[in-house]
Every structure is written in C-alpha cells, then in structure tokens.
Chains A and B, each alone.
Chain A
Amino acid sequence: MSEKTYEIRDPIHGLVPYNDLEREIINSFPFQRLRRVRQLAWTDYIYPGAMHTRFEHSIGVMHIAGRVFDALFKDRRNKEIAENVFGLNSDERERRKQLVRLAALTHDLGHGPFSHPAEDLFPDDDSVAGERYKISHEEYSAWTIKGFIDDILKSHKTGNRLAIDGSLVASYIVGAPTDSGDALLKDIISGTIDVDRMDYLLRDSYHCGVRYGQYDLERIINTIAICEDDELEGEFSIGINEDGIHAAEGLFIARFMMFTQVYMHKTRSIYDYHFENLMRDLLHESGGVFPSPRNLASLKQFLNWDDWRVLGCLSEGKGGIHGEIIRNRHHHRLVYQTNEVFDGEGEEERAQRRFEKVEAATKKLGCIRRVASKSWYSQSVKSNILVRPSDGDSAKGNPLSRISAVVKSLRPVRQLRLYVPLANVDSAAGEIKAILARGGRNGKA
C-alpha cells in the first residue's frame, strides 16, 4: 500500500491509518449510514455513554485486522505454514492484506437500525427448503458490498490493480471464500479469535464506562498463531501461541463478563423487545419486516432505514404502545428469573417448571418471557480457540477450553426471565410470592 494514506482518531486505537481506496468506501453512502446505526441499540438507557456507532467499530475492526495480518507474517512458523500450505507468498501479501482490511471495514454494512435487535424483523429466507431462517445481517452486508461497494472497488486504481471486487470481499462474509488462503484469512474476520470481538469488547466497555471488556489486545496480536487442528489432521486455523494463553483467557473472561453485565443486562434486554414491536408497527405496510436485500431497489429501501429515521418516527408519536414506552422509558419490569447456571441433577428442569407456573399465573398481567441464551451476543462461552506449543516445530493446537482451568469453568448462561408492564409489577409480585410460598424457590423474584 504505497498510495497516499490518511489518519482518523479513534478512542480505542489512537490514530488509525487508512488508504485512498478505504477512504472512498468510508465516504460512500452505505458506510456513512453506519454513523447513524448505534452499536448497542438502547443500551444507553442503562449505560448513558453507550452512544457509539457501527461506523467507529468498523474502522476499529479494519485497523486490528491489518495488525493481525502483519503479525501472522512476523512469526517464522506462521510464515512457513502460510507460504507452504496456503501459498500466501510475499507477492500475494499486499492483495490479501487489502482484502482482509476491506472485509473487516464492510462486515457490518448490513446492520439494520439499532443493530442486532433489528434482525428479528429481517424477512425469512425461503431459499432453504424445510428450514425457517431469517436472512442474516451478514447476508445484507454481502449484498450491500456487491450492490454498492463493487463499483468503487473496480473503478479505484488500487482495487483495479489488486483485482479486488465486491464478490471477493463479500466471500469473506458469506458463502465460501475463493481459495484455501482466503479461507484461512477469513478466520481473522470471524474465527474463534476474531478482530470483530477484539474491537467490540474494548469499545463497548469504554463507551459503557465499565471495565469488564478489558483484555490485553497487544499480547493477543503479538502471539497470534496458525495452528494445526486438534481433530482434523492437516487442517489449520488461526489461534494463539502458548505464550499468549493468559491473554486469551483474559479475552474470554472479558467476553463472558460483558455478556452477563452488559449485553444480557435485564433492562437492556427488554428494550430489544420494545424496539422489535415498535419497528413492527413502523413496518406494518411491508408486513412487519424490512425490505429484502436480494434486489438492488429493495436493498436501497432497507439502507434508507437508520436510527435517525426511527427516532424521527418516534418523535412524531409513531411506534404504537412500544414507541410510547421507549419515549417515556416506561419499560416492562423484570419480576422473575431463573438462575444463570444449574448444578444439581434435575435442578434446571425443576426451575423451568416453576418458571412456567409463574408465567401461567402472570399471563393475565401481560407477562413477557425472554431467554438470555437467545441474545444476539450469546455465543460459545469457552470457544475452541487453538493454542500452539511455544517450543519445537509442531503446530498442533490444543483447545483453550481444555488446557485453561479458567476457561474450562465458564458455563453457558441459560437464564429465563419474566417481565410485566410497569403498571402490573405489584400485582405480579403478589402472584409470584404466593407461588413461591407454595413450593420453595428455584428462581429469583
């Protein structure tokens, strides 16, 4: 990348350099739209600082992606595997690095207004027989790249020189990459230790004003490693060198803590519900779902939806009862929840039965069930990130979840929660108290 470079100030990474091609993409409509898509939806109702957007996150992800790419080729063993197994020779490197950075930059272009909660309003994907999926935000991103970024890539001298087009960038996000080298590098964008979460943990933590998401980014980058799979001989993915094991532990603890303290926060979670319902109201003319990404006109209509438009509708009094709830911050209140994890035999089933009794008793009060594990942020808590031995020539990885006592002890959160409208909190509390008095308690009122 010998062309002119620019810099942008970022609260997490300091000065972030970018080149002219990236600048053109940043200046495009789909990317500028991300300034108007908040990273954490209505989390500012709980953590007032959480007003950051997908715009700054995407630039941060691009920055870390480039650093991880460079780190991969600093280590002798990484370099040998990259060159000998994946053909990532030095003459290929500039092109691949640019591809990785562009995929990182554009990976979130397909988010709806207020990010993840909008995904409940994406249309069903009817292309897969027998399954009922919703189209994913990744697919919206891929279509946006192919529909609106492709021309920029093809007409810019760098994109042209490196033969990078929209389909190539999009192949890092959905579908299959072009070759085994791209498949390996895709791990940087969305693998077990990817740059997306490396950025969002630090950024979300910073803006929320909490410390839960802190971990040692420098050490992670410094110890990034290509590891041979523990199960599939001759298969490689991006993991970490043994020297970075405690930094990796820090990353997964940070993720677990951010999940329980921020992403799954009891009040944050109910605002996803209110948002979903207010959006259904706003989208009633299109059947309560966003326009599909699968043709350009409809995709453009989708991209015209951003936070500003939703906030404009809200300020005009639109959005039905849930719009009213959000305007006044009169959200439904948590009245009952099960424990986060269960230990004893049959404990979870008993807790679930009790939850269902409470749910049945409060149905008349308009109770709403929310499942923490269905959160958009809920992913594997332990992760199968591979750890490569520091010494010797073996690249055989060992899953972190097997060799780290800390990570081994992390358990998936499976919490059920019950909310009722604000006006019914006292009545619900009375009902629940009566049920708990009749048969012990496996949950928390």
Chain B
Amino acid sequence: MEKLDQIGLIAYLAKKVGPNNKLGRKAVQKFVHIAASLGKIPTGYRFSFYTYGPYSRELAADLEVAEAIDGIVSCQNPGTTAFDIKAGDAADSIIKNAKNYLENQEKSLNGIFDEFGNFTARTLELYSTILFLRDEEPNIANSLDDLKKRVNQLKPQYSDAEFNQAYQHLKRIEHRFH
C-alpha cells in the first residue's frame, strides 16, 4: 500500500465526512477500520485492540503527516477538549495524488460513509469492536450470544439493546460490501 494512497484516504475521509460530523482522531480510526473490515477496502493499516477499541499506530502517525502537509486541519470544539478534523487546503491535491486508489475504492468507501457518516464516535466504536472480534476471534463470530458476551467483557458500557441494534444493522448491510 502506497503512503500517498493512505494519506489520500485520510484527506478523502475528512472531505466527505468532516463537514457533516464531529470527526475526531478516534472516529477516523473507527471509519478506517470499518472500511477495511466491513468494506473490504485495502488500507494497509493493522489494528490492535485498546480500551478505546481498534486502533492503528501507523494511522495515528499518518494523521500527523496529513496535518503537516495541510491535507487535514484540526479545529477545537467550542467548550470542549475535543478536536474535529476537516479537509485542509491541500486536501484536493492530496486526493488527486491518490486518484487511482480512491477511484477503485470509491463505491465501497461511499457506501461506508452513507451508512456511518452520521454516527457518533461512540457508536462507531461499538461497530468497530464487533467487526474486530468477528475478524480476530472466528470461533465466536457466528454465535450472537458469544459475540455479545465478548463485547460486554471488553465494552460493558454498551447495553444489550445497543449491541443487538448494531449487530442486526451489520447483518443487514454486509452483503453490500461482498
């Protein structure tokens, strides 16, 4: 995976989702993870599981690169400590540099943005957690109860109702990305 394509993906995400959503750094992590896991979009990032769900250190470093070259900008949310990511002045030229990659993935990426573009970081984290466990622990992937139990062990803050809703939603839409 070329670095230009990875940075292009970040700028594209900021451009597509940034204007309509509070897109913080963790939300970017979740979007990229969901794009890779559910959307089957090659991103080149490997994710590990932390308290805040699936997370890639390399993606965190690339966010800094994207910001350093004005592909994205961070703006503080008034009255909070949180920062939102928006497309920067150089976003269009960075996206252009990754044109072939983004065109190949456009349909799936836009499908992900359509489904999840308005989700909060908290909700994205639940989806991302379910997908991570499904990929990494195939022995529980096909059992609703086992998967729910594992999510509850790692993320007890989500209710059964929230899990069920996310699980059913994923079941309904996953065929679109196969």
Q: Which A residues fall within an 8 A CB radius of B?
A: 129-133, 136, 138, 174-180, 183-184, 186-187, 190-191, 229-237, 341-342, 348, 371, 373-374, 378-382, 384, 396-399, 402, 411-412, 414
Contacts and interface: CB of A to CB of B under 8 A. Distances in A.
Nearest to B58: A379
B42 interface: yes
A190 B48 CA distance: 10
A176 B49 contact: yes
B137 A180 contact: no
B133 A176 contact: yes
Contact of B156 (A176, A180, A341): A180
Interface residues of B, number: 45
Contact of B65 (A132, A138, A396, A412): A412
B60 A132 contact: no
Contacts of A379: 57-58, 60-61
Given A130-B42, A131-B36, A180 B61 contact: no
Interface of B: 1, 3, 24-27, 36, 40-44, 46, 48-52, 57-58, 60-61, 63-65, 68-69, 76, 80-83, 121-122, 125, 132-133, 136-137, 150, 153-157
A231 B26 contact: yes
A237 B51 CA distance: 6
B72 to A, nearest CB: 13
Given A191-B50, A234-B157, A235-B52, A414 B65 contact: yes
Contacts of A190: 48
A232 B64 contact: no
Contacts of B1: 131-132
Contact of A176 (B43, B44, B137, B157): B137
B46 A136 contact: yes
A382 B137 CA distance: 33
B122 A233 contact: yes
B41 A130 contact: yes
B51 A183 contact: yes
B155 A180 contact: yes
A380 B60 contact: yes
Contact of B50 (A129, A131, A237, A341): A237
15 contacts: A130-B40, A131-B36, A174-B48, A176-B150, A180-B155, A183-B51, A231-B83, A232-B52, A237-B51, A373-B3, A373-B65, A378-B61, A379-B57, A398-B81, A411-B68
A252 B84 CA distance: 23
Contacts of A184: 51
Contacts of B57: 379-380
Contacts of A374: 3
A412 B50 contact: no
Nearest to B122: A232
B50 A187 contact: yes
Contacts of B3: 371, 373-374
A138 B43 CA distance: 20
Contacts of B154: 176-177, 179-180, 183
B52 A229 contact: yes
A396 B65 CA distance: 26
Nearest to A347: B69
Contacts of B40: 129-130
Contacts of B132: 176
Given A180-B156, A380-B61, A231 B25 contact: yes
Contact of B64 (A138, A176, A186, A380): A380
Given A235-B157, A412-B68, 14 more contacts: A129-B40, A131-B43, A133-B46, A138-B48, A180-B156, A229-B52, A231-B121, A232-B122, A235-B52, A236-B51, A371-B3, A402-B81, A411-B64, A412-B61
A402 B156 contact: no
Most buried by B among A131, A231, A232, A234: A231
Nearest to A402: B83
Given A348-B69, A381-B64, A412-B64, A229 B26 contact: yes
